[in-house]
């Protein structure tokens, strides 16, 4: 597959994924957002976990919530927890 076709294929698959988002998934996202909002409203902390690439995602999200990039606001209580477990793929190789 040529590089342009490879790139187009990746973009098309990504777009197809977003088209498949249905009311159930949107409802679950809304429920999660409401729980997180309630957590902060009550002055509680949000703990975000990840391993490997997900650890980087959890760190990024925590930084976005704690930091004040575009809007000056009180920092939100968020903490990223990362594991040091070996990736299963590498472990069994």
Considering the entire predicted model, what is its pTM?
Answer: 0.66
Are both 11 and 39 inside the same structural domain?
yes
CA–CA dist 30, 41 (Å, integer): 16
Q: How many domains does the chain have?
A: 2
Are both 49 and 75 inside the same structural domain?
yes
pLDDT tens series, the chain, 93 aa: 799 999 999 999 988 888 877 767 888 889 999 999 999 999 999 999 988 888 899 999 999 999 977 788 889 999 999 876 655 555 555
Are both 51 and 87 inside the same structural domain?
yes
Q: How many CB atoms lie within 10 A of CB 82?
A: 15
**Residues of the domain holding 62:** 45-93
């Amino acid at each position: 597959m040529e590089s342009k076709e490879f790139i187009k294929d990746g973009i098309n698959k990504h777009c197809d994924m977003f088209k498949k988002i249905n009311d159930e998934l949107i409802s679950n996202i809304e429920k999660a957002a409401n729980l997180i909002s309630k957590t902060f409203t009550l002055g509680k902390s949000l703990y975000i976990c990840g391993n490997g690439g997900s650890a980087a995602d959890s760190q990024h999200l925590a930084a976005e919530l704690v930091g004040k990039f575009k809007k000056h606001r009180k920092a939100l209580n968020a903490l990223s927890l990362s594991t040091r477990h070996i990736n299963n793929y590498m472990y069994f190789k």
